[in-house]
Amino acid sequence: MEKYAKWNDPANLINPFAPITTFPPCTLYVTGSILLLLRLPFVLVTTLLLFFVTALTSLPLGPLNRLLRYLFEGPLARLLLLLLGYWSVNTNYAAARQLRLRPSKNPDKTRPNPVGNGVQAGDIVVCTATSPIEILWLTWMFRPTFAHVVNTSTPGTDVAQHTAAVQPKGLWSSLYTFCSSQSVPQTCPTDASNAVQVATAAHVKKASLSLKQLADQCKGSMNGSPVCTFPEGVRSNGTGVLMFHPIFHQITFEEHRCHLLTFQHVQQSSSKFSATLPIGSALKCFLWHCMHWSHTMNVTMFPAQELVPPPSIESEAALKSKKEAQVRKELAARASSGKYGGGIAPPIAMPESGVLGNRCRNLLAKMYGIDTLTRCSKDYDGFLTFWKNERNGTKKKR
């Protein structure tokens, strides 16, 4: 949208934060209201049951916690998806040819079926964030520990020197983070052996630790689980992959523990509704879900055993392509900051996420069939402020 053009990516003019507008026909209000009234009681009962089970799993019940999550938490999350219209979810593996990778000839590297069956406790599932629906599907599939990015830099540090860690969260904390429009929080890192809540005089902060520490902790515990993380730090509309935060330190390719996962939400042809929620009301998004008979979500996975480092010596064609892409980005950046730049703000710098982080980011973009962007969660803060001010101004005019 033109009013959000300031936050377009300078290289390709893609805006990853702009909300997707819906234009519902009048007939949808009639049929949708009936569906909403029929679904709402079942959705509320299932949500209360899921909340009760999740509260039980937070108690120190030993091996019973894992049993409760497997028998009740996962199936209830899937039931909630069914009630919202996700009758089936298409899951498949990413084709090696699509990612421009050579297929493995090692018989020990066969892809386990069904999709996701090879994810073990302590493995890391790397995802992008576009919708709260994804949290429910991940809960059904993996019963994971969610790892959300936090900024661990000292206040006042230059943005290009920022450091980041992750904060472990459960199902409801993750849903709240996805449903609320907020930027990456500020916290202080703590040791993995002291991953508890740290109380201060003014407020309570949850401990943060490195992604590797959290994954090792989940692997070694009695109730071990995979770790699902969202390195972008904020939600987007799925039109491009944002810059990753530097959270992949000390994780190596040889460990084969990073699985890649993409979600693609198919837009409704009748109402132009999309389940992606980059910004805006989560309640409105939930009501729109209930007012449609069904929704389509495609999940693509790239297994950890096939995640290898990029070639150390790249071909001449690959180097030429990279050079041309860099030239285009530089020209676009000059154009956006010049007199006739259209008011596009230059992207805010983000520290390098390392070889593994960049590899994951590039492969995720290829799996989606979209571009990697120079925008990051730091740009989201400015966009969020503008969106809130515009919204408040519109309400005052009314």
The model's pTM is 0.87
pLDDT band at 203 (very low <50, low <70, confident <90, very high): very low
Contact present, 250 and 381 (Cβ < 8 Å)? no
pLDDT of residue 119: 92
Beta bridge partners of 189: 208
Q: Where are the alpha helices (DSSP H) in the chain?
A: 26-57, 63-68, 74-83, 133-142, 171-179, 211-220, 282-290, 316-337, 354-368, 377-397
Q: What mean pLDDT is predicted for residues 266-282?
A: 85
| pLDDT, tens digit (0-9, with 9 covering 90-100), for 147-158 | 999 998 877 777
With CA atoms as reference, report the closest residue to 4 among 343, 373, 297: 343
For the cut 70, the answer to whether the pLDDT of residue 328 exceeds it is: no
- Three-class secondary structure assignment of 92-104: EECCCCCCCCCCC
User: What residue segments make up the domains of the chain, in order of their start?
Assistant: 2-30+89-102+112-312+322-393
Q: Which of 11-20, 50-59, 255-264, 331-340 has the lowest mean pLDDT?
A: 331-340
CA distances to 3, 173, 204, 258 from 201, in Å: 43, 23, 8, 38
| pLDDT, tens digit (0-9, with 9 covering 90-100), for 224-236 | 899 999 999 999 9
pLDDT of residue 258: 95
pLDDT of residue 166: 94
For the cut 50, the answer to whether the pLDDT of residue 340 exceeds it is: no
What is the rounded average pLDDT for all residues in the chain?
Answer: 83
pLDDT band at 396 (very low <50, low <70, confident <90, very high): low
With CA atoms as reference, report the closest residue to 228 among 139, 354, 360: 139
Q: What mean pLDDT is predicted for residues 58-76?
A: 87
pLDDT of residue 4: 83
